[in-house]
């Protein structure tokens, strides 16, 4: 293992729960339908995919664009004072510093969103590369975001550990040829997803999977961690 690639929403930051609260609040404001079950289909997917899902589920007359505007406004209010780190983030980054592994973020969010979130917790300098919306041709579950992250770190994908919380994120990392670990947030792994990755309870549980500094010097980096 030579590098680690992180998803952002739902993995580094407890944002998915805020997005859920925000979209339900926006739907109430507009008087339109929205369910938790439909929202969970949005986790780990870009806006255009979510837009299509809403129209297919609720019909052509659904106020998709108005909902998005209200959704982002509600989210902005919630995230201003409620952006929390997920358990184990700082401890994992400190371990990566100690053993000298580079790391990147591969996310469907915008660069502006990434900068804002990282800045709130002083994490902007803790990552060696950020791959965000606009940096790749195809979003997750396509492998493009993770392949781009590996390229920016100058590490072969097979030598990267990918950390994700969503189904599409795991599909993307696996398709890129990375060693994938899921840290579930709002959605539980299915049999399909469990066949593609290892599953742990939190980022604290990722630490024992990492090699020591001595291991990195002695072992074949392609064999440090295998999906279960």
**For 113-136, how does the pLDDT look when each residue is reduced to its tens digit (9 = 90+)?**
999 999 999 999 999 999 999 999
End-to-end CA distance of the chain: 16
What token pair was written down for 167? 């189904």
DSSP labels, 149-210: HHHHHT--GGGEEEEESSHHHHHHHHHTT-EEEE--SSS---HHHHTTSEE-SSGGGGGGGS
Nearest alpha-carbon partner for 210 in 96, 128, 126? 96
pTM of the model: 0.90
- The verdict on whether 7 is a catalytic residue reads yes
Q: What SS3 class is residue 26?
A: helix
The crossing angle, in degrees rounded to 10, of helices 47-58 and 64-82 is 130
- The verdict on whether 9 is a catalytic residue reads yes
DSSP labels, 70-86: HHHHHHHHHHHHH--BP
Report the distance separating Cα 55 and Cα 62, nearest Å. Answer: 6
153 phi/psi in degrees, rounded to 5: -85, -5
Full pLDDT tens readout for the chain, 228 residues: 999 999 999 999 999 999 999 999 999 999 999 999 999 999 988 888 999 999 999 999 999 999 999 999 999 999 998 999 999 999 999 999 999 999 999 999 999 999 999 999 999 999 999 999 999 999 999 999 999 999 999 999 999 999 999 999 999 999 999 999 999 999 999 999 999 999 999 999 999 999 876 666 665 544 344 333
pLDDT digits (tens, 9 = 90+) for 165-178: 999 999 999 999 99
The catalytic residue among 7, 144, 165, 185 is: 7
């Amino acid at each position: 293992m030579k590098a680690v690639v992180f998803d952002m929403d739902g993995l580094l930051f407890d944002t998915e729960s805020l997005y859920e609260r925000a979209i339900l609040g926006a739907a109430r404001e507009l008087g339109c339908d929205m369910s938790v079950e439909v929202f969970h289909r949005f986790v780990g997917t870009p806006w255009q995919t979510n837009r299509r899902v809403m129209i297919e589920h609720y019909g052509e007359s659904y106020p998709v664009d108005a909902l998005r505007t209200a959704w982002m406004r509600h989210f902005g209010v919630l995230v201003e004072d409620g952006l929390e780190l997920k358990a184990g983030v700082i401890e994992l980054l400190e371990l990566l510093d100690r053993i000298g592994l580079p790391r990147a973020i591969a996310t469907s969010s915008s660069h502006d969103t990434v900068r804002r979130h990282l800045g709130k917790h002083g994490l902007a300098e803790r990552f060696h590369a950020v791959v965000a919306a606009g940096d790749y041709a195809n979003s997750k579950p396509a492998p493009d975001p993770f392949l781009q992250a590996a390229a920016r770190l100058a590490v072969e994908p097979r030598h990267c550990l990918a950390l994700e919380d969503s189904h599409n994120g795991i599909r993307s990392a696996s398709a890129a040829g990375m060693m994938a670990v899921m840290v579930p947030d709002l959605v539980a792994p299915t049999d399909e997803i469990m066949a593609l990755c290892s599953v742990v309870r939190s980022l604290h549980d990722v630490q024992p999977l990492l090699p020591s500094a001595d291991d990195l010097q002695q072992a074949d980096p392609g064999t440090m961690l295998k999906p279960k």
